[in-house]
Amino acid sequence: MAESGPATLDSVAARAGVSRQTVSNVLRHPSRVAAPTRERVLAAIRESGYRPSLPARQLATRRAHAIAVRAERQQDGISGLVLDAFYHGLAEAGQDNGLRVLLYAQPEDEAAEVALIDELVLTGAADAVVLTATSADDERPAHLRANGTTFCAFGRPWGHDDEPHDWVDVDGAVGTGLAVQHLLDLGRRRIAYLGWPGDGAEPSTGTDRRRGWLDALAEAGLGGAALEARSLNDAAAAQAAVAELLDAPDAPDAIVCASDTLALGAHRAATTRGGEPATVVGFDATPVAAALGLASVAQPIDQAAHLCIELLTGRLETPDRPAQGLLVPPVLHLPT
Amino acid sequence: MAESGPATLDSVAARAGVSRQTVSNVLRHPSRVAAPTRERVLAAIRESGYRPSLPARQLATRRAHAIAVRAERQQDGISGLVLDAFYHGLAEAGQDNGLRVLLYAQPEDEAAEVALIDELVLTGAADAVVLTATSADDERPAHLRANGTTFCAFGRPWGHDDEPHDWVDVDGAVGTGLAVQHLLDLGRRRIAYLGWPGDGAEPSTGTDRRRGWLDALAEAGLGGAALEARSLNDAAAAQAAVAELLDAPDAPDAIVCASDTLALGAHRAATTRGGEPATVVGFDATPVAAALGLASVAQPIDQAAHLCIELLTGRLETPDRPAQGLLVPPVLHLPT
DNA sequence: CTAGGGTGTTTGAGCGCTCAAACTTTGAGC
DNA sequence: GCTCAAAGTTTGAGCGCTCAAACACCCTAG
C-alpha cells in the first residue's frame, strides 16, 4: 500500500484504469458514467480510502460550499438557548445540502459585521450568511444587498417590506394566540399580556406577539377587557410589573408573556400572593418554563434553520429568483 | 477600473510592478520585502481591493486554517447557555489566530462523530477539533488519538490520565469552594450540597464540584456536619430532594448546588416554607440565577475557549510537543 | 580586481480539483 | 455500407496560491 500521501483523483484514476475526470464524474455526476466503469471506480475509491479535497474543489468551482452565521457575544436572557438549537439545525441541514456552517464572532457594531461578512465572502470562506437577531433599525440587510452578498434572515424585515430579501420567521402572533386559546380552554377569561416596552409602536417581534394575544381575545369576544403590562426582559422587573397588575381592582386570572424570562417574573409575582394564582404562559419553551411547570410557546427552531438552508441553497443556485419570506407556526408546550 | 474579475496575486503584482511572490511575501512575510517595495505593494492592494483567496491558500499549504466544534443536538438543562458563550469565545480567539470555526451537527453516537470528524479533517475542511461535553466513558479521545487527529478537549480526561491529550477545564472544586466561603462569610454554618446522582464514584464534573464543597467545609472545621442531597438535573426533582433535606431535624441553612437548574429547584424548596429560608448558591451564573437573586459560580467560558485555541494553534505548529492540561478558576457572581 | 556573502526579488512547479472541448466508440436509420 | 447522433471517456487548461530554488544586485574583504 506504500502510496505517496493521501489518495487523489489521479491516483484513484490510475488504480481504476480510467481518467481523472471519470472519477470526478462518478462522484458528482454518476449518470454520465457507464455502470460497469462506475463500479470499478467506486471499488478503487473504497480501496484507496480516497476523500475529495475540499479546498481544491472550492478553488475550481469558486464556491466555498459554506455559509456563515454569527456567534452572539452574549445572551441577554433566558431565551438565548434557542440559538443553540438554531446552530444545530443549520449544521444538520447544511450537511444534508453540502454546506458547511462557519461561525464568526459578533463584532462591535453592524458596520463592522457587514465588513466581516464581506471579507468572508470575498476570501471565499463562505458563499452566504444567515442573519440572526434582526430588528426594524437593522442596517445589515440593506448593506448586504448593496454589496450583492447572498443572505437569508432569521427574522422578518420589520418595516422594510419595500426591500425584499429571503427570510424565515416564526409566527409570534399565532404563538400568543395558541396561548390565549389554551387559557380560554382552562376557563380563564381575564387574560393579560406581559410584553416588552415599546411593543405596539414600530413593527417588531414584540408587536407581533402582542397582536396575537389581542386578536385572540377579540375573537373570543373579550376584547374590551385587555389587561396589559410592560417590562424589560428581566425577571425582577417583570415580577414588579405583574405584581402591580395583580394589585389592581380587576386583576387578571392569566398572563401571556412575550418570553420565558418575563414568565419567570410573572410566575414569581403570581405565586407570592394568596388565593388562586394567575396562570402564566411563557414564550420559547426553555427549560426554565418546564422547571416551573409553565406552558410555553415553542418556536420550531429546527424547522426554521432547515428552511433558511433551503432558501439559501435555492438562491445560490438561482440568484435571480424573487425573494421569499417564510412564516412557520409555533406550537404550545404544555407542562408535564 | 474595468478589471476582469476580482483582484488576484498576479493582478496586484502587475499593478505594483513586482512579481506574484513579492505580493505574497508582503502579506505573509513582510520582513522579507524592502520597505519601499512593501509600500508600493500595499498601495496596490488597497487600490484593487484585493482579498486573498482562502481556498487557494488552503490548497497550496494543505492547511484548512479552521477547526471544528460540535453543535449540540439539544440542551438538557438551563445551563446549556454556556455553550453559546463558548462558541463566541472560539470564534473570537480563532479570528485572532487565523482559524475559522466550523460547526458540525452532533451525530447519533460517538462512533459516527469520530467518523465525521475524520471526514472533516481528511477532506481538508478542518485541521483539528474541539471536543465538548467530555466524560469518563467518552471514547472519542482514544479514537481521535488513534487516527492521529489533532484535538483539544474542553473538559478533563476524567480517569484517563494515562492517555494524555490537550485539554482545558474549569476548576469546579475551586468554584464550590468559593461558594462555601461566601456562605461562611454570610454566617452560615450548616452548608449542604445538592449534587447529581453518582457524584463521588468515578471521577467527573460532579465529583469535582462535590469535593470542593467537602474540602472547604473541612478547612473551616465543619467537616462532620456534611449534609447532602442528590437529584437529576431537573428543577422539580431538585425541589423534592431539597424539601426532604429541609424537613430533616438538622436542616441546613445554606445549599451549594452543582448547577443552576438544581439551584432553581432548591430555591423553590427553600422559599415555599416558613421561617428563614436557606441561602442557595448555583453553578454557571445563568440568567436564571440572576433572575432569582441567587449567587452562582461563573465559569470563565470565554477564557477557556481562548485557551483551547491557544493549545490548538500551538499543537498545529508543533505536533510533537507534550500534551497539556489547563485548569482555569471560576469566580462567584453575586446577586445585584 | 575579483571572489563571496547578504539582501531582495523572480521563476518554475505544483497543490487537487472542475470546466469545456475534443475525441472515440456504439448503434440506429436509410 | 455509410452517415450521423448519442453515449461514454479523455485531454488541456486553469482556479490562485505557496514552496523551493534560482537569480540579480550591492557591498565588503582579500
Is residue B334 included in any domain, yes or no? Answer: no
Q: Are A261 and B235 in contact (CB < 8 Å)?
A: no
Predicted pLDDT at A226: 72
- Same domain? For A260 and A281 the reply is yes
- Same domain? For B305 and B164 the reply is yes
Is residue B44 included in any domain, yes or no? Answer: yes
Extended strands (E) in A143-223: 150-154, 167-170, 191-195
- Same domain? For B234 and B271 the reply is yes
Edge-to-edge strand list for the sheet holding B167-170: A325-328, A167-170, A150-154, A128-131, A66-71, A100-105, B100-105, B66-71, B128-131, B150-154, B167-170, B325-328
Residue ranges of chain B with pLDDT lower than 50?
Answer: 1-2
Is residue A9 included in any domain, yes or no? Answer: no
Q: Could you tell me if B123 lies within 8 Å of chain A, comparing CB atoms?
A: yes
Distance from residue B34's CA to nucleotide C3's C1', rounded to whole Å: 26
Is residue A141 included in any domain, yes or no? Answer: yes
Cβ neighbours of B123 in A, within 8 Å: 51-54
Is residue B166 included in any domain, yes or no? Answer: yes
Predicted pLDDT at A2: 41
Three cell numbers at A236? 425582577
- Same domain? For A261 and A213 the reply is yes
Is residue B335 included in any domain, yes or no? Answer: no
Is residue B336 included in any domain, yes or no? Answer: no
Nearest nucleotide by C1' from B41 CA? Answer: C9
Nearest nucleotide by C1' from A21 CA? Answer: D10
Residue B110, Cβ neighbours under 10 Å: how many?
Answer: 13
What Cα–Cα distance (Å) separates residue A41 from each residue in A10, A44, A54? 12, 5, 20
- Same domain? For A122 and A182 the reply is no
- Same domain? For A154 and A218 the reply is no
Q: How does strand B167-170 pair with strand A228-230?
A: unpaired
Which of B6, B88, B103 minimises the CB distance to A91?
B103
- Same domain? For A163 and A309 the reply is yes
Q: Is B323 exposed, middle or buried (0-12, 13-18, 19+ CB in 10 A)?
A: middle
What is the amino acid identity at position B293? Answer: G
Is residue B60 included in any domain, yes or no? Answer: no
Nearest nucleotide by C1' from B16 CA? Answer: C9
Distance from residue A85's CA to nucleotide D17's C1', rounded to whole Å: 37
CA distance A270 to chain B (A): 13
Residue A15, Cβ neighbours under 10 Å: how many?
Answer: 19
Cβ neighbours of B94 in A, within 8 Å: 105
Instruction: Give the domain extent around A75.
Output: 66-170+301-327
- Same domain? For B227 and B319 the reply is no
Question: How would you classify residue B33: left for phi > 0, otherwise alpha for psi between -120 and 50, otherwise beta?
Answer: beta
Q: Are B54 and A287 in contact (CB < 8 Å)?
A: no
Asked whether the beta carbons of A140 and A134 are under 8 A apart, the reply is yes
**Which DSSP letter does residue A52 get?**
-
Structurally, chain A folds into a number of domains equal to: 3
Cβ neighbours of A101 in B, within 8 Å: 71, 102-104
Kindly provide the b/e burial profile for residues A215-247, where b requires at least 16 CB atoms within 10 angstroms of the residue's own CB: bbbeeeebeeeebbbbbbbbbbbbbebbbebbe
Cβ neighbours of B81 in A, within 8 Å: 75, 80-81, 84
| Per-residue pLDDT in tens (0 to 9) along chain A, 336 residues | 445 689 999 999 999 999 999 999 999 999 999 999 999 999 999 999 999 999 999 999 999 999 999 999 876 666 665 788 999 999 999 999 999 999 999 999 999 999 999 999 999 999 999 999 888 889 999 999 999 999 999 999 988 888 899 999 999 999 999 999 999 999 999 999 999 997 666 888 999 999 999 999 999 998 766 789 999 988 889 999 999 999 988 889 999 999 999 999 999 899 888 778 899 999 999 888 888 899 999 999 999 999 999 999 999 999 999 999 999 999 999 997
CA distance A79 to chain B (A): 9
Predicted pLDDT at B2: 42
Q: Are A291 and B51 in contact (CB < 8 Å)?
A: no
d(CA B68, CA B4): 35
DSSP sequence for B218-265: HHTT-GGG--EEE--S-HHHHHHHHHHHHHSTT--SEEEESSHHHHHH
d(CA A210, CA A231): 13
Q: Please name the residues in contact with B89: beta carbons below 8 A apart, sequence gap of 6 or more.
A: B301, B302, B303, B304, B305, B306
Distance from residue B41's CA to nucleotide C3's C1', rounded to whole Å: 35
- Same domain? For B305 and B165 the reply is yes
For A48, phi then psi, to 5°, come to -90, -5
Q: Are B123 and A292 in contact (CB < 8 Å)?
A: no
DSSP-derived 3-state class of residue A167 = strand
- Same domain? For B161 and B184 the reply is no
Three cell numbers at B131? 471536543
Edge-to-edge strand list for the sheet holding A191-195: A228-230, A191-195, A254-257, A279-283, A295-298, A331-333
Three cell numbers at A191? 387574560
- Same domain? For A83 and A142 the reply is yes
| Interval B73-104: pLDDT, tens | 876 666 665 788 999 999 999 999 999 999 99
DSSP-derived 3-state class of residue A27 = helix
Asked whether the beta carbons of B291 and B263 are under 8 A apart, the reply is no
Cβ neighbours of B69 in A, within 8 Å: 103
CATH number at residue A222: 3.40.50.2300
A contact residues 239-278, partner B, Cβ 8 Å cutoff: 261, 264-265
- Same domain? For A163 and A71 the reply is yes
